[in-house]
Structure 1
Amino acid sequence: MTKSPWKWVPTLYLGTGPAQVAATTLSMLLYKQLGLTNAEITLYTAWFFLPQVLRPLWAPLIELTKSRRWWVVAMQLLVGAAFGGVAFTIPTAYWLQGTICFFLLLAFSGAIYDTAVDSFYSVSLDDDAQQHFTGIRSAFYRFSIIFAQGFLVMVAGNLQLLYRNSISLSWSLVFYAAAGLFIALWLWHRAILPHARADEGRYDWSGDLPADLSDLWHEMRRRLHSFVTKYERRRVVATLFFIVAFLLPEALLSKVSMLFLVDAEHNGGLGLSPQEFGWVQGTVAVVALSLGSLAGGIVVNRDGLRRWLWPMTAATNLPHLLYLYLALTQPGGLLPITLCIFVHQFGCAFGTTAYLLQLIHYSRGPHQTTHHLLCTALMTASFVLPSMFSGALQMALGYPAFFLMVLACGGFSFLSMALLPKR
């Protein structure tokens, strides 16, 4: 009996957001409320992007070893265990070491789960069904982000009111609830996911494993060499500089902007409660990102990318002025803060369309999948390194001067776009 995709596609993509959000956003809020400095928070949480940097190394193993279905089910259970580990270690004396270990496990298992889900989806449905469910899976992915970054943060804030500001207890309960959700999803998918004929690991374990690993290593080296030699040297250098430099301002801003929203007013922040943060950053910002991406795709399809390169570069950088405005004025109402966050997130998503399309254009040709993985890994690495030290820079400069520095770094975005060959 054929199992309807409606029984498993929505729930598969409902599980793609929480692990990523927990490792990259909830961890920062937790550490901020537990008293770590901005410098410590950005340094520690930057390591949770390591799975994305290493994706070109581990992603091929998903298709070569076990079935995609096995990876999906196994990683969903591991994500649930990692959530439980975070919840268990928060109230202990070793909360920092314990939560870092489990957040890192959560980041790896979540990244592998996301990759396995996309691969399983592609082999389990025919082309017509994939096209039919494209909007469904995108909608449930966005909903999962709002659930984790909005709803769960609001729940943590309400629990802190209920338990008289017991931060450890409130966050432990939230992470235990997330663990229970993923264990329930694991039980459901273990029973309901179909066994596709094309979903089998391709590696023959009866062969010569050391020789096969050596061949795989040489193949990876060959593809890496082709990545930097596929075009003339000027284009390669200009593209690599573009990948590294275009998002430098956003890399510096990404973590500090969220800490700025919840930091105390006497420290120069806006002093938002968890409930307010969940609404502004967890709901409004996600909606703005979705609308910005949609608008970027529409104008590029209508007019072509070249016409929108400079407007998109400006849209990525100019909204950073809004954070300088917020830092200088510290408005007391939630409405101006919400509007500023909406405009920034919309502009960032709209402008990043040009960046992502440039990565796709560079990856075209032989070994397209591998080259795109390398592009995204380099993008993530260039994003992580500045964000790692952004908290220390903010503490040294203060919020207004830091946001002014971010604005100045926008010059790298315009320079990298100007040097990029337009073809």
Structure 2
Amino acid sequence: MNRPYKLALLASLYLAQGLPFGFFTQALPVLLRERGLSLAAIGASGLLFLPWALKFLWAPLVDHTGSRKTWILSLQFLTLVGALGLAFVDLESSLVPIFAALVLFNLLAATQDVATDGLAVRLLSPAERGLGNGIQVGAYRIGMILGGGALLWIFAKAGWSAMFFGMAAILLLTCVPALFLPGKLSVPIAGGVSAPTGSIGADTPPAGAALRLGWGHRLRHPGLPTFILLICAYKFGDAMASSLVGPFMHDAGLSKEEIAIVKGTIGSIMGLAGAAAGGWLAWRYGRRIALISCGVLQTLSLLMYVACALDPSNKSLIYAATTCEHLLGGMATVALFTLMMDASDPHHAGTDYTLLACAVVLGSGLAGVCAGFIGDAIGYAGVFGLSVLISGLGCLALVRLLDHGHGPQRLATVWPRRSA
């Protein structure tokens, strides 16, 4: 399978995930705040993203039954049908249908993500993973631009129906590259390289009860629980701050159109640049240097949100803060995802990577809930300041502990270790 097709395929699949996710995480909080919901209620709505945190439960099933092509195309089609269905539902009188759609769309996207992540681990060689993760985050950001920016703009101009028709049309286009995906992959990773072992195990495919509970076996491998805590800590502070940026912009007096441009479009475009930069750093300088530099820059970018909270009338500062956080946060995300891919066994790629991704999603969801309650209690400046502290400590903890071998053994090939 040639590299251009691999990258185009992965780009289309991750864009398809980012599209509804961008709407539900960026546009929907603004609309909820407009209806008068409290910050705590908006933060608690993050619990509806539980499918992303729980997808490890069915990841072994996706990983070892059927073909990835069948899984991906079926899930894409169901999401498209869901978007078309919402175009004919009256969403002005009640929020129940939109919350139900949020759960359903996230269930479908989370399951598609298991198949797509497993596909990426198998298709990409270790040398391609920085590039591949740049594509992953970059395409996802494009989806979020469309979902959190373009679709919010369409809603502001033409209403719910036009917005969901637009979502369905984009989802249809993303199905095209997957039509040419082989039903079976002949080798576990690109180039015919045999899959290395040692991180999360490389035993025979599970069956029966072992298939349903295969994630439990993967979770028991030495170093993995510590690694899960570390990757959550690395993104927790950034997730706290970013979860309240939309409501903060609304409370600062920005219109829906301004938020769509600043947060959805400009911010996500900078996220694309960050994804490219983060992938290049991981490829050029290695995982350790990439994670240190990106983690520090991500932490420093959050300081700008503190300044915004202290001077909410300064729109230029808000624009600058959003630009920097998306750029530097995108860099940190790609660096972290590349390391997560290194820790995944290609023989169980979907299950392994899903466990790690679920940890990040669960941690981010918890961060959003905490941020909502803390924000109601001490205000935006306080919660943004706390996010800076947590982000810095998370970066330090990840680097220090991995330096001394507190992680999966598989990482020894990409992360030089020091004696304890």
TM-score of the pair, normalised by structure 1: 0.75
Aligned to 2:414: none
Aligned to 1:203: none
Matched, 1:110 2:109: yes
Residue 384 to residue 37, structure 1, CA distance change in 2 (3 Å): same
Residue 101 to residue 292, structure 1, CA distance change in 2 (3 Å): same
Aligned to 2:149: 150
Question: Does the Cα contact within 8 Å between 2:60 and 2:351 map onto a contact in 1?
Answer: no
DSSP-derived class of the 2:145 partner: helix
Aligned to 1:274: 256
Write the mapping of 1:7-22 to structure 2, written as runs, cut at 5 A: 9=9, 15-22=16-23
CA distance in 2, matches of 1:237, 1:14: 30
1:105 to partner: Cα distance = 0.3
1:322 to partner: Cα distance = 0.6
Question: Does the Cα contact within 8 Å between 1:319 and 1:344 map onto a contact in 2?
Answer: yes
CA distance in 1, matches of 2:22, 2:392: 30
Aligned to 2:286: 304
Question: Does the Cα contact within 8 Å between 1:319 and 1:347 map onto a contact in 2?
Answer: yes
Aligned to 1:69: 69
Residue 61 to residue 218, structure 1, CA distance change in 2 (3 Å): closer
Out of 72-81 and 59-68, give the one that drifted further: 59-68
User: What fraction of aligned residue pairs are identical, expressed as a percent?
Assistant: 25
Aligned to 2:95: 96
Aligned to 2:236: 248
1:343 to partner: Cα distance = 1.2
Pairing partner for 2:216 from 218, 221, 231? 221
Which structure has more relative contact order (CA 8 Å, sep 6+)? It is 2
Aligned to 1:174: 163
Residue 415 to residue 278, structure 1, CA distance change in 2 (3 Å): same
Aligned to 1:371: 352
Residue 338 to residue 120, structure 1, CA distance change in 2 (3 Å): same
Provide Cα deviations, 1:108-154, integer angstroms capped at 9, x if missing partner.
1123334445667899x999xx99x9798887655433222221112
Provide Cα deviations, 1:337-368, integer angstroms capped at 9, x if missing partner.
22221112222222344433443454469856
Rg larger in 1 or in 2? Answer: 1
1:319 to partner: Cα distance = 1.2
Matched, 1:320 2:302: yes
Out of 375-384 and 133-142, give the one that drifted further: 133-142
Aligned to 2:320: 339
Residue 68 to residue 415, structure 1, CA distance change in 2 (3 Å): closer
CA distance in 1, matches of 2:120, 2:398: 35
Amino acid across the alignment from 2:382: A
CA distance in 1, matches of 2:360, 2:137: 22
Aligned to 1:267: none
Amino acid across the alignment from 1:274: K
Provide Cα deviations, 1:216-241, integer angstroms capped at 9, x if missing partner.
24644332222xx2x4xxxx665343
Amino acid across the alignment from 1:317: T
Q: How many aligned positions are there?
A: 376
Question: Does the Cα contact within 8 Å between 1:69 and 1:199 map onto a contact in 2?
Answer: no
Residue 111 to residue 372, structure 1, CA distance change in 2 (3 Å): closer
Provide Cα deviations, 1:70-109, integer angstroms capped at 9, x if missing partner.
333332232133324544555364x222221111101111
Question: Does the Cα contact within 8 Å between 2:22 and 2:146 map onto a contact in 1?
Answer: no
Aligned to 1:193: 179
DSSP-derived class of the 1:398 partner: helix
Pairing partner for 1:404 from 363, 376, 385? 385
Question: Does the Cα contact within 8 Å between 1:30 and 1:171 map onto a contact in 2?
Answer: no
**RMSD value over aligned CA atoms?**
3.8
